[in-house]
Amino acid sequence: MPQDLGIITRRAAASSLSGLPSRRRDTGGLATDALHLARWQFAITTVFHFFFVPLSIGLVFFTAVMETLWHRTKDLTYLRMTKFWGRLFLINFALGIVTGLVQEFQFGMNWSAYSRFVGDVFGAPLAIEGLAAFFLESTFIGLWVFGWNRLSERVHLACIWIVTIGTGLSAFFILAANSWMQHPVGYRVNPETGRAELHDFGALLTNSTLWTHFPHTILAALVTGGMFVIGVSAWHLLRGHETEVFRRSAAMGLVVSLFATVGVVVSGHIQGQQMTKQQPMKMAAAEALWNTTQGAGLSLFAISDVGQGRNVFNIQLPHLLSVMSTNSWNGTVEGINNLQRQYERTYGPGSYVPDVGATYWTFRVMVGAGFLMVFITLIGLWLFRRRELESAKWFLWFAPFAIALPYIANSTGWILTEVGRQPWVVYGVMLTRDASSPTVGFGLVLTTLVGFTVIYGALAVIDAYLLVRYARSEPPTVEAPAAGPTLVY
């Protein structure tokens, strides 16, 4: 609720931000440049990290279901599927883990002012993620990989399910932390220390934003896994490889994708309505809606003059934005200019408008990619039901390219979420420009920015190479029953 934020945030803005003028040393333009670099570093490392996370969450679920089917039916095809997709999961998982390391520490490195101000609230879900979820994933993944001959089938199966649960819990606590940045609840700013302090941990975990973010993210991860499984299976089916393994894989991919893509759309819609209430500026920017409008149209293509605060060109579907965000034909949707004036009254002078171009276009690309995936999944299912999937060469040829779609949607989705929140790092409470490390200068941030970017770039190439190579390889052969040396480390 934006109303209940009002009082707290105003006080927070007054006491914690403008009230701490002495902390930032005056380093002139260099500090601003360091801030920009730190923001780029966060953007690059986070988007890169999130390149791997959704596929891990999605693929481990597929792997767990396949192993369950093998356990139930003793059909060796399911065991081969488990090993084939499990191996791809592991290649991908490794990068998710190591890029996650950087995430844990870069708040302290580049955002020390943020860490001091919010550590009390934000640190808790992060620490709990490590203790409750990350330990679980990392320990049981080792057991799963090396345990084929040492554990009973039942325990081995339990291991992959525990990893699946662990990845989900991980996502939950990380999103709890992020949701607090979007919609801060359960805290107050201590006027003595000038820091945010947690006073209701339950509120943090029941944050309404978390409960729309979490399903949307998990479903998006399942879509990522689904599109990946469909695409890779299609590549093999087109060539007539191992049709039994890949027909079943494709069918699973299609069914999961059907539920997950529809779920992503529905949860995304609910998120949009929530965003209109909680972060109206983000919604206004995402729609390039400059002035508060009743019965606002949904923009399909707009060119804005940001300086003047208006659109030069705009194609829109009448009334649809109002219907989508307020459930009423003539509902009022607040515009950027009106919100800017309102925010200046609340928080003082300054610009409270995010990068409208980035917010508007990432929103459209994300939604576009999402609907495309629904469409592709429906076509695939229709072909499958008519038993024409393997003969529909055009679909099999096209499906591997569609693997790019979830990646595009995941990345633009996060860019929308984070860029749309600017200039705030914690919405209504702390500005991004006040959050960086005052003692970390331009040269230092540049060093790590270049360093991480080069390392990540190199690893991305190697990872893509390995994924493609192993995705094209034969599914491992297995001897009945369950001899399993095939997962090579």
Partner 1 sequence: MHEGYLNLQTLWFALIMALWIGYFFLEGFDFGVGILLPFLGRDGVDRRILVNAIGPVWDGNEVWLIVAGGATFAAFPDWYATLFSGFYLALFLILAALIFRGVAFEFRGKGKHPEWKRWWDRAIFWGSAVPALLWGVAFANILRGVPIDANHEWTGSFLDLLNPYALLAGATSFLLFTLHGGVFLTLKTDGELRDRARRAAELLAWPTTAAVLGFLVWTFVDQHGNGRVAPVVVSILALAAVAGVVWLSRARRDGWAFLATGLAIVGVTATIFLDLYPRVMVSSTRAANDLTIWNASSAHYTLTVMTIVALVFAPLVLAYQGWTYWIFRKRISRTDVEAGANPA
**Closest separation between CB of residue 338 and partner 1, Å?**
37
Using the minimum distance from each CB to partner 1, give the nearer residue, 166 or 423. 166
Which one, of 67, 118, 130, 59, lies nearest residue 91 by Cα?
59
Which lies closer to partner 1 via its Cβ, residue 371 or residue 470? 470
CA–CA distance, 409 with 482 (Å, rounded to integer): 38
Helices 208-238 & 29-73, crossing angle to 10 degrees?
A: 60
Residue nearer to partner 1 on the CB measure, 147 or 368: 147
Burial class (CB in 10 A: 0-12, 13-18, 19+), 456: buried
Give the residue with the Cβ less far from partner 1, 123 or 309: 123
483 C-beta neighbours (distance < 10 Å), count? 11
Smallest separation (angstroms) from partner 1 to the CB of 33? 16
Q: How many CA atoms lie within 13 A of 333 on its CB side?
A: 33
* Sequence-ordered alpha helix ranges (H) in 279-313: 280-286
Closer of 357 and 484 to partner 1 (Cβ): 484
| Token duo for residue 417 | 């979420």
If the CB atoms of residues 154 and 345 are measured against partner 1, the closer one turns out to be: 154
Is the CB of residue 184 less than 8 Å from the CB of residue 427? Answer: yes
Least separation in angstroms between residue 146's CB and partner 1 is 4
Smallest separation, CB 212 to partner 1 (Å): 24
What is the distance between the alpha carbons of residues 183 and 189, in angstroms, rounded to a whole number?
15
Burial level of 29, CB count in 10 A (0-12/13-18/19+)?
exposed
Minimum CB–partner distance for residue 20 and partner 1 (Å): 9
Q: How far apart are CB 47 and partner 1 at their closest, in Å?
A: 16
Burial 158-186 (b: 16+ CB within 10 A, else e): bbbbbbbbbbbbbbbbbbbbbbbbbbbbb
Structural tokens at position 196: 């945010």
Q: Which is nearer to partner 1, 143 or 265 (CB)?
A: 143
- Output 91 or 219, the one with its CB closest to partner 1: 91
SS (H, E, C) 70-128: HHHHCCHHHHHHHHHHHHHHHHHHHHHHHHHHHHHHHHHHHCHHHHHHHHHHHHHHHHH
Instruction: Report the residue number, 151 or 431, with the smaller CB distance to partner 1.
Output: 151
Q: Which is nearer to partner 1, 98 or 482 (CB)?
A: 98
- In whole angstroms, the minimum distance from the beta carbon of 431 to partner 1 comes to 17
Q: Tell the smallest beta-carbon distance from residue 170 to partner 1 (Å).
A: 11
**CA dist., res. 5 & res. 279, Å (int):** 11
Q: Is the CB of 133 or the CB of 283 nearer to partner 1? A: 133
Looking at residue 475, the DSSP 8-state letter turns out to be P
Query: What is the C-alpha to C-alpha distance for residues 374 and 153, in angstroms, rounded to an integer?
Result: 36
Instruction: Report the residue number, 300 or 462, with the smaller CB distance to partner 1.
Output: 462
- CA 475, 481, 483: angle at the middle one, nearest 5? 60
CB atoms within 10 A of CB 465: 11
Q: Which residues pair with 426 in a beta bridge?
A: 430
Whether residue 213 contacts residue 272, with contact meaning beta carbons closer than 8 Å, is answered with: no
Closest distance between partner 1 and the C-beta of residue 442, in Å? 13
CA atoms within 13 A on the CB side of 55: 32
Q: Are 273 and 416 contacting, i.e. CB atoms less than 8 angstroms apart?
A: no
Type of residue found at 196: A
**d(Cα 289, Cα 283) in Å, to the nearest integer?**
8
Q: How far is the CB of 439 from partner 1 (least distance, A)?
A: 5
Cβ nearer to partner 1, comparing 83 with 183: 83
190: its two tokens: 């201590």
Closest distance to partner 1 from the beta carbon of 171 (Å):
15
Contact indicator for 90, 463 with CB cutoff of 8 Å: no
In the complex, least distance from residue 183 CB atom to partner 1, rounded to whole angstroms: 19
As measured in angstroms, the least distance from the Cβ of 126 to partner 1 is 5
- The answer to whether the bond into 481 is cis (omega within 30° of 0) is yes
